Amino acid sequence: MLTLEQKLTDKLETLLKQTALSITDQQKAQLVKLILLLNKWNKAYNLTSVRDPMDMLVKHILDSLVVSPYLSGERFIDVGTGPGLPGLPLAIINPHKQFVLLDSLGKRISFIRHAVRELGLHNVETVLSRVEEYRPEQLFDGVLSRAFASLKDMTDWCQHLPNQDGYFYALKGLYHQEEVEELGEKFTIQQVVQLQVPTLVGERHLVIVK
């Protein structure tokens, strides 16, 4: 009988072959360990509505990783990160980039801090705060989110976070033109990428805003 860890590792290998991502064996092991940690904590803390670890692999891990090729710069913040998504998977496969993971819920930040220690990550900083109250000493090359309701809310609440050349990266399901029309005048859509997440049912888009 295969253990859950072996099943996850096998499935991750299969899914990665359907992408252009190149990930080391150590990083694969860290991604699998992240799912096991999330699965364990989820039972007590209800961090995600996705209960099945195999589903987490697609809906949380692969869904986060496919954004990686589009990230420009070295320093990123994941706002409303929840249990560290997409920030933790991206930090695992981009060890030379820095990630700040921000959330306003203590139990989520506690989980992320535990995961960072367990996974031996040195490029992740956690912040327990509401995004509009957070004032970083150094601004960011990219502001990431997969939780914000609308582009307008994301850009309005986070406009103090990107540096002069920084971008907003919004992970979306369906792409709605109406959302774009609601954006303030100082924001422009740089690119809309239809993301390919192996075996995921439904559309995924990355909207990059300047």
Binding site for S-adenosyl-L-methionine: what residues are annotated?
80, 85, 131-132, 146
The encoded tokens of residue 205 equal 């888009």
Q: How many CB atoms lie within 10 A of CB 120?
A: 9
* β partners of residue 128: 103
The encoded tokens of residue 101 equal 């993971």
- Known binding-site residues equal 80, 85, 131-132, 146
Secondary structure class of 92 (helix, strand, coil): helix
Close Cβ partners of 68 (under 8 Å, ≥ 6 residues apart) = 21, 90, 93, 94
The encoded tokens of residue 78 equal 């994941």
Phi, psi of 14 (to 5 degrees): -65, -45
Query: Do strands 140-145 and 162-172 pair parallel, antiparallel, or not at all (unpaired)?
Result: parallel
Secondary structure class of 40 (helix, strand, coil): helix
